[in-house]
Structure 1
Amino acid sequence: MHAAIDIGTNTVLLLVAKKNGEILTPVREEQRIPRLGNGVDASGNLSDASMKRVLDALQEYNEIISSDYPQIQSPVVTATSAVRDAANRSYFIDKVREETGFEIRLLSGIEEAEYTFAGALSMLPKIDEAVVIDIGGGSTEIAHGMKGVVRESHSFDMGSVRFTERFIGSDPPEESQIRNCREEIRKILHNRPFKFQKEDVQPALVGVAGTVTSLAFMDSGLSQYDSEQINDYTLSTENISYWVDKISKNTVRSLEETYPVVMKGRAEIILAGLLILDEFMTLYNFPELVVSTGGIRHGAILSKN
């Protein structure tokens, strides 16, 4: 039995899973939404309040592992964009060590893409070649590979929290805010192009993380979150355009009331995430996306010797 904790810009995720070679069988998953990266894009620092919320979540996970899975000695704990970007990251890492005993593995953008690629495809074993997109709160990772080997990857400094804080200032957002956000996304994507297509054969596009899993939940009409129903769910470009339009016309409160299971703590940032997804799929002519419930935490367990 293994455990991994992913400290992201918006969420802190726990995975407990059984490992058999490259196959993972999830046993338990938990999510908390402390939004560690709140304000980091503007201030350059993790706030005391955000760090306290994350520490509370980590203490809770520590208790879950100790009481329910005592055979697990040392979970893999990773941190990503918000911690990478923060000037006070060393203070936060030391604080986590002092209060929980967890040693944080601070991933580079490339490592984040590689962990995500492995984790995403661990939940979709039938896919050989894929482009994996991970729209996080502070960054977006793109990884292209085949049969578990990453050929090319890049980490973009754009994410759902970062671009909400930078561009989306109204509730609901103004058309000019959406337009400005789209323009910046296009600019960033064009500055670092990929060549995915070869001889008219396009790899599968796989999406991970809260933007796409929440969208799959809403699009499928589920009333309770069910990972098995969400994993391998397909979203077409038409689906995504529909939801971009719908979400852009609703207030945060309306979205939280209509879809409380997935919109609590995410309603105000999901539009920026969807705009990143929409622009990426448009640029590279992907007609659809397959959702994976795998991610960094799955890749972290697979990386353990």
Structure 2
Amino acid sequence: MNSSPVYASIDIGTNSVLLLVACFDDNQLEVLDELQEIPRLGKGVDSDKNLHPESCERVISVLKNYRAYLEQNYPELIDEVIVTATSAVRDSSNRNQFLEQIFQETGWEVRLLSGDEEAETTYSGAISVLPYQNKKFVVLDIGGGSTEIAGGNGLVLNSGISVDMGSVRFSERYLLNDPPTRDQIEAVRSEAQSLLDKNSVSLQGFELVGVAGTVTSIAAILLGLNDYQAEKINGYRLKRSDVQRFINEFAKITSREIEEKYSPFLKGRGDVITGGLIILDEFMKLFEFDELTVSTGGIRHGILISSLNL
């Protein structure tokens, strides 16, 4: 049994809320436990600039369940959990009320990450769980509300940006039919191209690493898994041709049909997965990547690394 100190972190994203329990052995992060729920906090935030009360309640319900899970399985961690929030909370006018509500109902203070901090923690978290780390990487994190693009050498981040495009944001803005029309799909492509062009840099010699639900879900499906197995998903090489194939398939069926055919991995993602894949496809096209390496790491991993100064 591992005697190293154990830590926990929670990432409140636009679409999902993720719990990580991990320890560090010789400065290497070792994942002990992970939970995922998809309460869709960012629903409507792009248009309203406000967190909806129902969305807030769904997130707080998930946090309470995570607290109960930790109390049962890792009681020593309860007061030490690092909780972060990102794009949906950043963009909302009522974020302070929501963060106060979380504190009142769970006892946890939430750290609201800036776009730069989000890119930085995503990068270190993504690379930390890969079996090899001595390369030049660019990490792409397609979230619900924003997309982080971070480049570095091994575990050291050189630069990162946050772009206001994401699977929930673009799906709510453009993909209004179910299934979406051809014109709506082209609108997502056009806006993604425009935003990426503004942030275009040379990525020649870099290896592309993809994180978050858009890429991990598709990797799990292609691997033929029946449940989420991080050790098998990490390091999977996702080809752009497969991304395009799924876009073409999903564009012809409803979100409900997507979720039914590809449960459990696309449960709660059926109406936003196409938007996320289009962003991914446009990135790979612009920067000439034929494939990417999938990582199950992310903010929840990176925030533990940074908090421990590893």
- In the superposition, the TM-score normalised over structure 1's length comes to 0.97
**What percent of counterpart residues are identical?**
49
Q: Give how far 1:252 is off.
A: 1.0
**SS of structure 1 residue aligned to 2:264:** helix
Greater shift in the superposed pair: 160-169 or 258-267: 258-267
Tell me the amino acid that sits aligned with residue 292 of structure 2: L
How big is the shift at 1:21? 4.7
- Of the three residues 131, 156, 159, the one matched with 2:163 is 156
Q: Of 260, 265, 268, which aligns to 1:262?
A: 265
Residue by residue over 1:240-273, the C-alpha shift from the partner in whole angstroms, topping out at 9 and shown as x without a partner, is 1111111111211111111111111001100000
In the other structure, the counterpart of 1:56 is 61
Instruction: Decide whether the 8 Å contact of 2:14 with 2:144 is kept in 1.
Output: yes
Instruction: Tell me the distance in 1 between the aligned counterparts of 2:208 and 2:155.
Output: 15
Write the deviation string for residues 146-197 of structure 1: whole angstroms up to 9, x where unpaired. Answer: 0211112110000000000000011111000000110000000011112222
SS in 2 for 1:268: coil
Letter in 1 for 2:95: R
Give 1:104's aligned residue: 110
Which residue of structure 1 aligns with residue 83 of structure 2? 77
- Aligned-partner Cα distance in 2 for 1:51–1:138: 16
Contact conserved, 2:131 with 2:235, CA < 8 A, in 1? no
Distance 1:21 1:96, change over 3 A: farther
Contact 1:22 1:122 in 2 (8 A): no
The Cα of 1:70 is off from its aligned counterpart by 1.6
Instruction: Kindly provide the amino acid, as one letter, of the partner of residue 84 in structure 1.
Output: R
CA apart distance, 1:36: 0.4
**Structure 1 Cα separation of the partners of residues 273 and 279 of structure 2:** 10
In the other structure, the counterpart of 2:222 is: 219
Secondary structure at the aligned position of 2:172 is classed as: helix
SS at match of 2:277: helix
RMSD: 1.0
Indicate conservation of the 8 Å contact 1:237/1:281, yes or no. Answer: yes
Does residue 35 in structure 1 map to residue 40 in structure 2?
yes
User: How do 1:1-305 residues align onto structure 2 when only pairs under 5 Å count?
Assistant: 1-72=6-77, 73-127=79-133, 128-197=135-204, 202-305=205-308
State the secondary structure of the residue aligned to 1:213. helix
CA distance in 2, matches of 1:122, 1:102: 26
Whole-Å Cα distance in 1 between the matches of residues 97 and 158 of structure 2? 35
Question: Comparing 203-212 with 19-28, which one deviates more in the overlay?
Answer: 19-28
Identify unmatched segments of 5+ residues in structure 1. none
Q: TM-score, normalised by structure 2?
A: 0.95
Code of the aligned partner of 1:124: L
Greater CA deviation, 218-227 or 290-299? Answer: 218-227
Partner AA of 2:54 in structure 1: A
Are the structure 2 counterparts of residues 22 and 279 from structure 1 closer, same or farther at C-alpha, using a change threshold of 3 Å? Answer: farther
Contact kept, 8 Å, 2:7 with 2:22, in 1: the verdict is yes
The letter of the residue matching 1:174 is: T
> Once structures 1 and 2 are overlaid, which stretch shifts more, 186-195 or 74-83?
186-195
User: What code does the residue aligned with 1:177 have?
Assistant: Q
Q: CA separation of 1:237/1:80 partners in 2, compared to 1, >3 Å: closer, same or farther?
A: same
Equivalent position SS for 2:145 = coil
The CA distance in 1 between the partners of 2:110 and 2:244, in whole Å, is 38
SS of 2:75's equivalent in the other structure is: coil
Count of matched residue positions in the alignment of Structure 1 and Structure 2: 301
- The whole-number CA distance in structure 2 between the counterparts of 1:125 and 1:231 is 8
Q: CA deviation at 1:225?
A: 2.2
Alpha-carbon distance in structure 1 between the residues aligned to 2:70 and 2:221: 31
